[in-house]
Chain A
Amino acid sequence: MIFKGYISSRKLLDGSINHQKVQNLVIRDACHKRKYEYKLSLTEYGVKNCFLAFNQILLEIEKDKFDGIAFYSLTQLPEKKADREKLYKIIIKKKKKILFSLENKLVSNISEIRKLENLLKIKYLLKFTPKKIKY
């Protein structure tokens, strides 16, 4: 199974940012562990709210150019639900898979998409919760 890598060059949803070299290593390792063939990553542009590379990957997976998308992390997903739903629709319709390498999560059906959405919502809300623990 061929997985196309997808890495970022701007801050992720949780505010983290990692070297592209590290993102690629994490994806390569996750694909290797699952015996997926890793196809060179496409890098999302650093321009704010830009998802040209994300949409490009959707276009290509719809044309069956690969079997899955290997994200570095689930926090790379677009903040707008409508944009994420475009991805989910294609995954279901074309029977493809999404691998979130850092979290080691594979998503390929509706029930896994629901779990993923819950996790994302919690992660997003955590941005607004207190950061310090007072013992």
Chain B
Amino acid sequence: MYYNNYSKSEKNYLNKGLIIKETENKKSLFYINKIIKQKLIKILKINIKIKNFNLNKLHNYINEKNINQIRLSLIESVNKDKNFKKEFLKVAQKMLSNIVGNELAMQNNINLSIQIPNDESSLLPIHSDTWSGDSPFETVLWLPMVNCYKTKSMFILDAKKMNKFNKIFKNKKIKTISDLYKKFKKDLNFIKINYGNYLLFNQNIPHGNLINTTNETRISLNCRFKGLFTPYSQKELGSFFSPLKLRAATKIGLEYKMPGEKKNK
């Protein structure tokens, strides 16, 4: 029997390709924010108190040349924190369970974006993660550390335009990624989301970012989740994903031996 009595959130996700909600656990959000600031202060070797550190003004401490190195150091450093992944999950755990399932695989390392004003080096042109080796069964949890709007945020295609997009993609006049962007520019919407909320989105829908022309820096985290037993693409279980929780029935199944068979030592 197949049930398709979807919840309101599921319908939203299916129709719009995204959900924006208030984080489910404020303590977890504050923990994440504190760790990011703490690690950044250490990496940048700056003398500032956490409570006075405004991430919107991060561009006062970094530039286009060292931004990627700082970003990579920060990713490495936050992922080493033993509670970081657990707290990250808690900001949207119930929704993830609703949309993806309760037996999940989670990306091994939580990713982090830094978009300082007018930086050309950190751009992600229009793409769908599925075109670059991700499984279509994945969902992205995107968590901003600052208020995001206009070019400080990311854009995503209006989900209703997916059919049009798929038809036009192979048009011979579209030769470059810039052509693709120009063709769909009017159907791309910048996501307005404030600190304190999370975004869960369908990464099969084309999305990306432009040069941040606001005068504030964006810091956001992103992490992919999928059903543990759904198909993997190039981002495999082990090298890219790890099981988050095994349900009791799965654990029994994994350990089951037919009568007379020896258990693996």
Contacts and interface: CB of A to CB of B under 8 A. Distances in A.
Nearest to A49: B170
B176 A52 contact: yes
Contacts, number: 46
B175 interface: yes
Q: Which range contains the number of A residues in contact with the other chain?
A: 10 to 19
B133 A52 contact: no
A53 B123 CA distance: 13
A55 B176 contact: yes
Interface string B103-124: 0000000000000000001100
A74 B175 CA distance: 21
B131 A59 contact: no
Given A40-B122, A47-B169, A56-B125, A20 B175 contact: no
B174 interface: yes
A42 B132 CA distance: 10
A46 B133 contact: yes
A9 to B, nearest CB: 4
B98 interface: no
B174 A52 contact: yes
Interface string A33-72: 0000001101101110010110110110000000000000
A59 B179 CA distance: 11
Given A42-B125, A45-B132, A56-B178, 13 more contacts: A9-B133, A20-B132, A39-B121, A40-B68, A42-B177, A43-B132, A45-B127, A46-B130, A46-B131, A46-B132, A47-B131, A52-B177, A55-B176
